[in-house]
Amino acid sequence: MLGRTVHDLNFSIDGADNSGTAYICGAGDEEPLPPSADLVKPSAKAIAQLHHQAKNLSPVFEPGNAETKAEQACYLPMADRGRPFVGKVQGVEGVYIGSG
């Protein structure tokens, strides 16, 4: 799926502590990966798009109704073959992978 722009929005509410915390995650991009995960930086454009999508999802996310606790980026493993890796890891007993 390289070269294709996807605008996904993952949304979940953390109910473990009844805090009403929402976690909103955007789609991956095609930026080259830096040598270390701590060098991954969020895209201001992508963050703004997530805020916009969240406000369209519910008025709860309008400015003044919700507090943004963090804006961050991370590695989002994606397989370049267009489908995930799922299955047993060869040569390692009892280890399976689900990624991409």
Q: How do residues 13-60 score in pLDDT, each as one tens digit? A: 555 556 777 878 777 777 787 888 788 888 888 888 888 888 888 888
Considering its fold, how many domains does the chain have in total? 1
45 occurs within a structural domain: yes
Are 68 and 47 spatial neighbours (Cβ–Cβ below 8 Å)?
no
CA atoms within 13 Å, Cβ hemisphere of 60: 7
Within 10 angstroms of residue 24's Cβ, the number of other Cβ atoms is 16
The percentage of the chain sitting over the pLDDT mark of 90, rounded to a whole number, equals 1
Domain limits at 15? Answer: 9-75
Amino acid code (one letter) for 46: A
pLDDT at 30 (0 to 100): 76
2 occurs within a structural domain: no
pLDDT at 98 (0 to 100): 79
16 occurs within a structural domain: yes
Task: Return the exposure string of 87-98: e unless at least 16 CB atoms fall within 10 Å of the residue's CB, then b.
Answer: eeeeeeeeeeee
